[in-house]
Structure 1
Amino acid sequence: MHVLIVNNTAIPALKYGGTERVIWWLGKALVKAGHQVSYLVAPGSSCPFADVYPFDPSQPFNQQVPKDKGIDIIHLNHGVNETPLLPHLMTMHGNMNEQIPLPVNTVFVSRNHAERFCSESFVCNGIDPDDYGDPALDTVRSYIHFLGDAAWRVKNVQGAIDVSRKAKWPLHVIGGHRFNFNQGIRLTFDTHVHFHGMKGGDEKNHILRHSAAMLFPVRWHEPFGLAITESLYFGCPVFGTPYGSLTEIVTKDVGYLSASKNELAEALQHIDQYDRKRCHERVMDQFTATHMMQQYLQKYEIVLNGHTLNHHPPVLKEIQDEKFLPFRD
């Protein structure tokens, strides 16, 4: 089939950009499986395995869909300004805190994500192992890491710093800077913390290959979190909070979940009990781009056969009143 993948940002993503990498990996996996893929994405994009068309959110959407290209289904990754004329579905990648009905053919990115919107329709994000290479499971590991946009307060880099200090582990932060204007001018004095800024590709992979574990004490319901599966791929057990997708991705054999700083710090004293090979296998068994592609093909077939992915338009089950989910000592 011919799939048109739509997003309002540019591809490829060179550093930060979860959705951009997901749709790249999905398209690549579809092409490998014998399907045709085109992208309708922000100007400046390029792709060696698919045709790319520029997306302009100010123009009517259906006028921008390539004509006479034999497109079978449109895969949206954000809302558009009119209902597509062709069969379509939409993946919701983030969170919202409003009880506004979503399109009936909405797909979520984890079971927890779907359940919070009264839905059972989800496809977990999958990574492309080709982008990560050798996980080097036998390398010496001398620090732990935080991976995410540290300027985003729900990611809770300060909580990670506090826990790593309690556990007496050096912490490497990928995705943030020691001096941060985005959090009301924050300067981190802790000398046990090393800030790498935004890193991608080989630079990020090198840091992960030498990390003993990931510290990820998020204070929101993480929709999926590529950082989790990337870390597991490199044999890093994940120590985080029991929110969102973490409860289904981080099983007891590959990590530890708690909303307590002290409990996470104590658990970090026992990193050696986790098998790096098992952490790696957790991803390879369930969270690769091939797994994701196969599950989306099932969704495409349902839509093409005239059925809907949800019995009713998904809507948020419960408004969250607190700005941040609990994280205690």
Structure 2
Amino acid sequence: MHILIVDWSGPIPALKYGGTERVIWGLGKCLHELGHKVTFLVPDGFTGDFAESIPLDQTKDLNDQIPEDVDVVHLNYPPHQPIHKPYIITMHGNPWPDEHIDPNTVFISRNQAERHNSDVFVHNGLYWDDYGTPNLDKPRTYFHFLGKASRRVKNVFGAAKIVLKAKGKLMVMGGERWNSRNFTRGFKYIFNPNITFLGMLDDAEKMKVMEKSKALVFPVEWHEPFGLVIIESLYAGCAVFCTTNGSLPELLSPEVGMASNDSDALAEALRNFKYDPQRCNSYAKEHFNAKKMTLEYLKLYKKVANGENLHAENPLYIPEKNQVTPLL
């Protein structure tokens, strides 16, 4: 089967920030390993030897840029026009309440699907060989936050609040201490000596930080569609403590972390959890690897290639299921 993977952002592979790019890099790699032909249609280039690449021109009709011999088009954003080949669309973000959702949409968690009257989802997986083998024997002396800290819904200062309650130290990856938004949202935290801002880091730098971290603290106040930072942290041997919003609870088991909207309960867990880096690493490799994800997508490729839609009716936003619970 010849699969065309289409994305409109970032180079492939991602160097620092870029969740979708990490996912489709691993997807393409595994498709190739399973004997399929892969082509990327992306605007900013592809560096690799397992797929072909075509530069995406967003000013042109997408259909005119799809090679004739493609069997299935895998889009990673909603297209602006009908697609003439069999296709699926992965919904990496949260649609707007009034957004039209295509019947061939695939969600990336059970929660995200249920919030849009659907049961069609594929959990993200990453190509762990690209991350190297983490050192699971290093002393772990602090906690970490990983994400685009400038986004209010990621709630970096909620993470700081929880860690300070637990009498711990926090390393923030994905944000700068002197960002102007921090002065209005978290002034009392940016000067705290127990909170360190590390900026944007690449995969190797992130791994070095996480190898010395007990856990990711991730109290988001929006419905996280998936949360790649959850599985990256688990792979590095870190437990995960987060809110119950979005997909996060379904990514965890009691052995590797806890989801709660009670900051006191989360702080208590940080202090008393039985940390086991090997268990967290094994859990990530077993449940969230790129090959497992790819095999699930192949089932959907075959379905649309046979002329079927993934949904009998278009998915739609369900207001009561999209209410967010704040951190208390």
TM-score for both structures, normalised by structure 2: 0.94
Q: Distance in 1 between matches of 2:95 and 2:124?
A: 19
Query: Aligned-pair distance for 1:47?
Result: 3.1
The structure-2 alpha-carbon separation of the partners of 1:184 and 1:79, relative to structure 1 and needing over 3 Å to count, comes to farther
Secondary structure, aligned partner of 2:216 = strand
Identity across the alignment (%): 46
The answer for unaligned runs of 5 or more in structure 1 is: none
In 2, Cα distance between the equivalents of 1:54 and 1:150? 31
Partner of 2:267: 265
CA shift at 1:278, angstroms? 1.9
Counterpart of 1:212 in structure 2 is: 214
Instruction: Tell me the alpha carbon deviations over residues 241-292 of structure 1, each in whole angstroms, 9 at most, x when there is no partner.
Output: 0111111011211101111111111111113x13222211211221100101
Cα distance, 1:138 vs structure 2 = 1.7
Determine the structure 1 residue equivalent to 2:128. Answer: 129
* 1:81, distance to aligned residue in structure 2 (A): 2.0
1:272-311 pair list within 5 angstroms: 273-311=274-312
- SS of 2:291 mapped into structure 1: helix
Deviation at 1:44, TM superposition (A): 3.8
2:177 and 2:197 in contact (8 A); partners too: yes
Q: Matched residues in 1 for 2:37 and 2:148: separation?
A: 33
Contact conserved, 1:6 with 1:77, CA < 8 A, in 2? Answer: yes
Deviation at 1:321, TM superposition (A): 8.4
Report the Cα offset of residue 125 of structure 1. 0.3
Amino acid at match of 2:72: I
Equivalent-residue separation in structure 2 for 1:98 and 1:225 (angstroms):
21
- Provide the rounded CA distance (Å) in 2 between the counterparts of 1:115 and 1:320: 8
Question: Residue 162 of structure 2: SS of its match in structure 1?
Answer: helix
- Does the 8 Å contact 2:40/2:46 carry over to 1? no
Correspondence 1:28-177 to 2 at 5 A = 28-67=29-68, 70-177=69-176
| Preserved contact between residue 237 and residue 255 of structure 1 (Cα < 8 Å) | yes
- 1:243 match: 245
Distance 1:44 1:35 in 2: 21
- 1:135 deviation in Å? 2.3
Query: RMSD between aligned alpha carbons?
Result: 1.6
**DSSP-derived class of the 1:28 partner:** helix
Between 1:246-255 and 1:222-231, the stretch displaced more is 246-255
Q: Residue 98 of structure 1 contacts residue 319 of structure 1 at CA under 8 Å; is this kept in 2?
A: no
Deviation at 1:136, TM superposition (A): 1.7
Counterpart code for 1:250: L
Cα drift, residue 185 of structure 1: 5.4
Find the residue that maps to 2:319 and give its secondary structure.
Answer: coil
Cα-to-partner distance string for 1:135-157 (whole Å, 9 max, x where unaligned): 22221101110010000111100
SS of the equivalent of 1:179 reads: coil
Opposite residue 14 of structure 1, the aligned amino acid is L
Partner Cα separation in structure 2 for residue 158 and residue 43 of structure 1: 34
Relative distance call for 1:141 and 1:30 in structure 2 (3 A) is: same
State the number of aligned residues. 324
Distance 1:320 1:269 in 2: 32
| Partner in structure 1 of residue 3 of structure 2 | 3
Q: Distance in 2 between matches of 1:189 and 1:232?
A: 29
**4+ runs deviating over 4 angstroms:** 182-187, 319-322
TM-score by length of 1: 0.94
From 221, 224, 240, the counterpart of 1:222:
224
Task: Report the alpha carbon displacement of residue 96 of structure 1 after superposing the two structures with TM.
Answer: 2.4
Q: Give how far 1:183 is off.
A: 5.2
What is the identity, as a one-letter code, of the residue corresponding to 1:189?
Answer: F
Unpaired runs of at least 5, structure 2: none
